[in-house]
Structure 1
Amino acid sequence: MFRLLNIEFHKLKHNRASRVLSIIYFALLTSIALIAAIKFDIGPIKFHLAEQGIFNFPYIWHFNTYVAAIFKFFLLLVIVSMMANEYSYKTLKQNLIDGLSKKEFILSKFYTVVAFAFVSMVFVFVTSLVLGLIYSDFNELSIILSDLDYLLAFFVKLVGFFSFGLFLGILIKRSAFAVGAMIVWYCVEWLIYGILGWKVVNNWDTAQSIKNFLPLEAMQNLIIEPGSRLGAVKSIANQIGTEFSKDYSVSFTNIIIVLIWTAIFIYLSYFLLKKRDL
């Protein structure tokens, strides 16, 4: 595994675009801390975002993983360009000539995906822990360690998303078109939902239940938006007669669905590479 990872990171190290995108991605993850600096005064109204409870344990695990997941598109570009470069620079063919099997080649890409996801998870964990220890009103160890399953959901989400990008990179061979294909697939999932709800099952709840099994929807459902969970938001909602009844917990079922899709994407990547004449 480490030999295959070393090969991939050697390629990434010598690719300027990948280095720049990776730096931007981790800089954006770090920038979550800048949210604490957001404050403004409007007459007698003084607003400091950090005082609204977003950095309280255990809520911070939910909030930071949700925000950090938005930046995953920068690493997606690294993943798809990584595959596009294999074809453009003929390094794929050279690796196979040098003795790397097609299975090892796919594994090297998958290990890179997992490594990116793992480093991202650790990065978010450390950033969240530091921010929480500084700003949280609750610092008991039991509270700090609760809701850590959001980090697992974040990791699984990134692995699934990057595996999808890897598959599209192998299928299409061009990074821009691969990213475009993912956007198209996102629209296709909504189209499927619309057709199911309007024509097939004639029930929007059933259509949504079916849509939950599609890859991007399942990944999105791993971490539900945290905004409506804030006490201040709930208070405003109650004042205007609205209630939120969402389940914010991490669903084990969604984790299984995303892991199954991840396995499918990696297998299809290997299948394509195995059948394709290089």
Structure 2
Amino acid sequence: MVRLLQIEFIKLWNNRSSRILIFTYFLLITSIALVSMIKFDFGDIHFQLAGQGIFNFPYIWHFNTYFVAWFKLFLAIVIVSMMANEYSNKTIKQNLIDGLSKKEFVLSKFLTVIAFALISTIFIFVVSLILGLLYSDFNEVSIIFSDLEFILAFFLKLTAFFSFCLFLGVLVKRSAFALGFLFIWQIVEIIATVVLEQKVFGTKNGMADLVTGFFPLRSMYNLIDEPITRLNVIKSAAKQLGADLGSNYHVHWYEMLIVIGWTIIFIYLSYALLKKRDL
């Protein structure tokens, strides 16, 4: 497995565009530290974002994993391009000629997906821990290491999304078309959700949410709910307006199982498609 992973990283390192995208991705993760320096001045009102509790433990695990997950598109481009380059440069055929089986080839790509997701998870954990230790009002060990299920959810979310991108790369063979397909699939899920909510089930009985929760991209998104309404300042404002924002922000085991299921499906389909295809 180490040999397979080493082969993939050598390919990525020798690709200038991939190097730039990977460095940009991790630079953006680090840039969330700059949020702590943002200050707003509205007349006599002065406040700093870091002082609003966004870096408090354990809230920081929720806040950072939700927003950093939006940067995953940078690595998605790398993964899709990684597969596209295999076809365009004919390295996939050369790898098979050199003795690499199709199963090992897909495994090497999946190991790269796991590596990207794991390194990203460790990175966001370290960055969040440092920011929390600097700015959090709560530094008890029991509080610091609570709600770490958001870190696990972040890892599963990236793994599933990158696996989807890998499958699209195998399916379409061209990075631009694969990314276009990803965008179209997102639109299809949105349209299907609107139809189910407004024309089929309605929004009151929860059936639409139950069904759409099994959609690939929607299931990944559902792993980590938006954290903004969890802030005390937002809750206080909503309470004064008589609005109920809800309080269920937990990561649910059944949502994790759905995402794991899609990951397995995407990797299997990638292998099945590659096995059937004449290279």
Shorter-chain TM-score tier = over 0.9
1:61 match: 61
2:21 match: 21
Alignment partner of 1:274 is 2:262? no
Alignment partner of 1:109 is 2:109? yes
Alignment partner of 1:154 is 2:154? yes
Distance between the aligned counterparts of 2:63 and 2:145, measured in 1? 15
Distance between the aligned counterparts of 2:179 and 2:155, measured in 1? 21
2:253 match: 252
Distance between the aligned counterparts of 1:102 and 1:15, measured in 2? 23
1:5 match: 5
Structure 1 segment 10-159 matched on structure 2, within 5 A: 10-159=10-159
Deviations 1:29-69 (A, max 9, x none): 00010000001222210110000000000000000001110
Deviations 1:141-182 (A, max 9, x none): 000010001000000000000000000000000111111111
Distance between the aligned counterparts of 1:200 and 1:38, measured in 2? 45
Distance between the aligned counterparts of 1:4 and 1:219, measured in 2? 27
- What secondary structure sits across from 1:41 in the alignment? strand
2:195 match: 195
Q: Which shifted more, 243-252 or 165-174? A: 243-252
Distance between the aligned counterparts of 1:247 and 1:203, measured in 2? 18
Distance between the aligned counterparts of 1:24 and 1:94, measured in 2? 31
Distance between the aligned counterparts of 2:142 and 2:259, measured in 1? 29
- What secondary structure sits across from 1:46 in the alignment? strand
1:167 match: 167
For 2:174, the aligned partner's letter is R
For 1:259, the aligned partner's letter is I
Count of residues paired in the alignment: 278
1:239 match: 240
RMSD of aligned C-alpha atoms? Answer: 1.1
1:221 match: 222
Distance between the aligned counterparts of 1:230 and 1:201, measured in 2? 32
Distance between the aligned counterparts of 1:134 and 1:203, measured in 2? 43
Tell me by how many angstroms 1:202 deviates: 5.2
For 1:151, the aligned partner's letter is I
- What secondary structure sits across from 1:71 in the alignment? helix
Q: Which shifted more, 236-245 or 150-159? A: 236-245
- What secondary structure sits across from 2:138 in the alignment? coil
Q: Compute the TM-score of the two structures, normalised by the length of structure 1.
A: 0.98
Tell me by how many angstroms 1:243 deviates: 1.6
- What secondary structure sits across from 1:137 in the alignment? coil
For 2:171, the aligned partner's letter is L
Distance between the aligned counterparts of 1:116 and 1:60, measured in 2? 22
Deviations 1:103-122 (A, max 9, x none): 00000000000000000000
Distance between the aligned counterparts of 1:212 and 1:140, measured in 2? 36
In structure 2, runs of 5+ residues without a counterpart are none
- What secondary structure sits across from 2:155 in the alignment? helix
**Identity percentage over the alignment?**
62
- What secondary structure sits across from 2:224 in the alignment? coil
Distance between the aligned counterparts of 2:137 and 2:80, measured in 1? 42
For 1:192, the aligned partner's letter is A
For 1:96, the aligned partner's letter is L
Distance between the aligned counterparts of 1:108 and 1:91, measured in 2? 14
- What secondary structure sits across from 1:146 in the alignment? coil
Q: CA 1:241–1:197 in structure 2 vs 1: closer, same or farther (change >3 Å)?
A: closer
